[in-house]
Structure 1
Amino acid sequence: MNDAPIGIFDSGVGGLSVLRHIQEELPHENLLYVADSAHAPYGGKSPREIQARSTALTEFLVGRGAKAIVVACNTATAAAIGLLRERYQLPVIGMEPAVKPAVTATRSGVVGVLATTGTLKSAQFAALLESYGKNVRVVTQGCPGLVECVERGELDTSETRELLSHYIEPLLAEGADTLVLGCTHYPFLKPLIEELVDGGVALIDTGAAVARQVRRRIEEAGLATRSLTSGQIRLWTSGDLAQGRRVMEALWKTAMVEPLPT
Structure 2
Amino acid sequence: MRIGFFDSGVGGITVLYEALKQLPQEDYIYYADTDHVPYGTKSKEDVLRYALEAVEFMAAEGIKALVVACNTATSIAINTLRQRYDFPILGMEPAVKPAVEKCCSKRILVMATPLTLKEEKYQNLVTRLDHDHLVDGLALPELVTYAEEFQFDPDEIKTYLRSRLNGYDLDQYGTVVLGCTHFPYFKGILKQLFPEGTNIIDGSAGTICYLKTVLGQRNLLSSSGQGNILFYSSGRREPLNSRYTHYLDYLHHSKI
TM-score by length of 1: 0.88
2:83 aligned residue:
86
2:246 aligned residue:
250
Tell me the CA shift for residue 122 of structure 1. Answer: 0.8
Alignment of 1:217-236 (within 5 A): 217-227=214-224, 229-236=225-232
Count of residues paired in the alignment: 249
CA offset digits 1:19-71 (Å, max 9, x no partner): 01111111111111111122111011111111111111111111111111110
2:253 aligned residue:
none
Q: Structure 2 counterpart of 1:238, which letter? A: S
Structure 1 residues 211, 8: closer, same or farther in 2, change over 3 A? same
Whether 1:111 aligns to 2:76 is no
Whether 1:187 aligns to 2:184 is yes
1:69 aligned residue:
66
Whether 1:122 aligns to 2:119 is yes
Structure-2 separation of matches of 1:75 and 1:166: 24
Tell me the CA shift for residue 94 of structure 1. Answer: 0.2
Tell me the CA shift for residue 160 of structure 1. Answer: 2.3
Q: Identity over aligned residues, as a percent?
A: 36
Q: Structure 1 counterpart of 2:85, which letter? A: Y
2:162 aligned residue:
165
Structure 1 residues 122, 174: closer, same or farther in 2, change over 3 A? farther
Tell me the CA shift for residue 236 of structure 1. Answer: 1.9
Q: Which moved more, 1:19-28 or 1:231-240?
A: 231-240
Does the 8 A contact of 1:108 with 1:176 survive in 2?
no
Q: 2:96 aligns with which of 70, 94, 99?
A: 99
1:200 aligned residue:
197
Tell me the CA shift for residue 146 of structure 1. Answer: 1.0
Q: Structure 1 counterpart of 2:220, which letter? A: L
Does the 8 A contact of 1:109 with 1:136 survive in 2?
no
CA offset digits 1:208-253 (Å, max 9, x no partner): 00101111222222222242x52311222239999xx774243113
Does the 8 A contact of 1:178 with 1:204 survive in 2?
yes
Does the 8 A contact of 1:151 with 1:247 survive in 2?
no
Q: Structure 2 counterpart of 1:27, which letter? A: P
Structure 1 residues 239, 93: closer, same or farther in 2, change over 3 A? closer
TM-score by length of 2: 0.90
Cα RMSD (Å): 2.3
Does the 8 A contact of 1:108 with 1:175 survive in 2?
no
1:38 aligned residue:
35
Tell me the CA shift for residue 17 of structure 1. Answer: 0.5
Task: For structure 1, list consecutive stretches of 5 or more residues without a partner in the other structure.
Answer: 255-262
Does the 8 A contact of 2:14 with 2:184 survive in 1?
yes
Does the 8 A contact of 1:156 with 1:192 survive in 2?
no
Does the 8 A contact of 1:29 with 1:231 survive in 2?
yes
Structure 1 residues 171, 98: closer, same or farther in 2, change over 3 A? farther
Q: Which moved more, 1:50-59 or 1:100-109?
A: 100-109
Alignment of 1:125-164 (within 5 A): 125-164=122-161
Structure-2 separation of matches of 1:56 and 1:202: 37
